[in-house]
Amino acid sequence: MADVAHSDGGTRHAALGALQALASALPDGQVGRRPRRSSMVRRRRREPAVGFAIRTNMTPMIDVVFQLLVFFIATTRYANDERVIAMDLARRTAAVAPSGTAAPVPPPPPPADPFVMEDEALRLEVRTDGTVAAGTPFRKTFTTAELRAALTEQVRSPMHPKGMFEAAFPVVIAPAENAPWESAVEVLDAAVAAGFRNVGFERRPGATGTAP
Amino acid sequence: MTPLIDMAFLLIVFFVLVSQVTGAEFVEMALPKPASNAAKRPGDADRIVLNVIPAKDGGAAAYRVGKREFAPDAAGLQQLVATMAQAMKANPGIEVNVRADRSTAYSWVRPAMDAVADALATSGIDRSRARVKLMVMGADSNG
């Protein structure tokens, strides 16, 4: 304040000198800055937010994750509709004897009895076009729908007491080489659905390893 | 958010793994679809799934068990019999499911069924219970 009195010149100089004096009186030369107090208040308000400083935007990631999830759920193909038809292999002769044993000896034929019906299997030949040539006793060619009806009628059951076949009567299906697998399975299914319990495909002896 | 993302990732991993497993055993093909419902749903028993992989004109490109493929010739079929016999020895109760496309000619499916019979014979299992299961589509399914 003493400087003001000694400064030469008019009131303009006096005012400038007063400002300078004011500035030098302030601590640490904080001319023109915000008052310290307000800065302190602001920092104190920010401090609790330090833990959330690295904040990632999650939304796009969750979007992508859900997209992937939906994709995999939609493209996973469950085998839910698949069914199985069981088919016995037991009564057929093995092409290869079990290792370490001799070839199986066929049992001796039973003595001939003229009154016993010949227990020959019912043979169903599946042709390439899907029709079925049924052997004895039908001796007729069927479509698969006709075959279903005929077989169902002829298997003895409470519903068809006059049927000529027991359920255990052997049925041999002999598809032609070029018959599609679909027709072969259709005939097998017809026989199984009719009630036959002894159904199988014809096995050709020594057929192993002879893919066409 | 974190539990949600955890669950989503677990589900994704689950579906990725499931689709890989089923893809290996169940090759994409059109199974036969017989008109009746005589076929049963497959049980929970252990099984070998033997795929006859379809080729053009009703042929077969290969026989496939799990992820192993066998050429449809004499050598490949012998390997197939050996592989299946090994699995049958290790697990006598195992069942065999045969999957073949509906248009595949019977002459290509027959070797597969013969191979099953031969594998059963060489593995020394009681053959009175030997059976094969043919896989089809349910009559009321839309596949």
Can you spell out the DSSP letters for A35-63?
Answer: PHHHHHHHHHHHGGGGGGSS----HHHHH
In a domain, B139, yes or no: no
Question: In this predicted model, what pLDDT tens digit does every residue of A153-212 receive, in sequence order?
Answer: 888 887 777 778 888 888 889 889 889 999 999 999 999 888 888 888 887 655 444 444
Report yes or no: B7 at the A interface, CB cutoff 8 Å.
no
What are residue A35's phi and psi, to 5 degrees?
A: -60, 145
**Total structural domains in chain B?**
1
Where do the domains of chain A lie, and which CATH numbers do they carry?
122-201 (3.30.420.270)
B125-131 long-range CB contacts below 8 Å, 24 or more apart?
B125/B88, B125/B92, B127/A89, B127/A90, B127/A94, B128/A90, B129/A90, B130/A88, B130/A89, B130/A90, B131/A86, B131/A87, B131/A88, B131/A89, B131/A90, B131/B95
Q: Which residue of A has its CA nearest to B129?
A: A90
Question: In this predicted model, what pLDDT tens digit does every residue of B107-126 receive, in sequence order?
Answer: 899 888 888 888 888 887 66
Q: Do B40 and A84 touch (CB under 8 A)?
A: yes
Q: Do A184 and B31 touch (CB under 8 A)?
A: no
- Helix, strand, coil % over all residues of chain B, rounded to 5: 45, 20, 30
* pLDDT for residue B31: 87
* pLDDT for residue B35: 85
How would residue B14 be classed by pLDDT, with cut points 50, 70 and 90? confident
Domain hosting B58: range is: 28-134
> Residue written as tokens 């979007």?
A63
**What pTM did the predictor assign?**
0.66
The domain that contains B89 carries what CATH number? 3.30.420.270
Q: Which residues on chain A are in Cβ contact (under 8 Å) with B117?
A: 89, 92, 94-95, 203
Instruction: Say how far apart CA A4 and CA B119 lie, in whole Å.
Output: 118
Report yes or no: A201 at the B interface, CB cutoff 8 Å.
yes
Distance set, CA B113 to CA A13, A142, B27, B120 (Å)? 116, 26, 18, 11
Enter the ipTM.
0.82
In a domain, B143, yes or no: no
> Residue written as tokens 């199985």?
A84
Instruction: Say how far apart CA A66 and CA A102 lie, in whole Å.
Output: 63
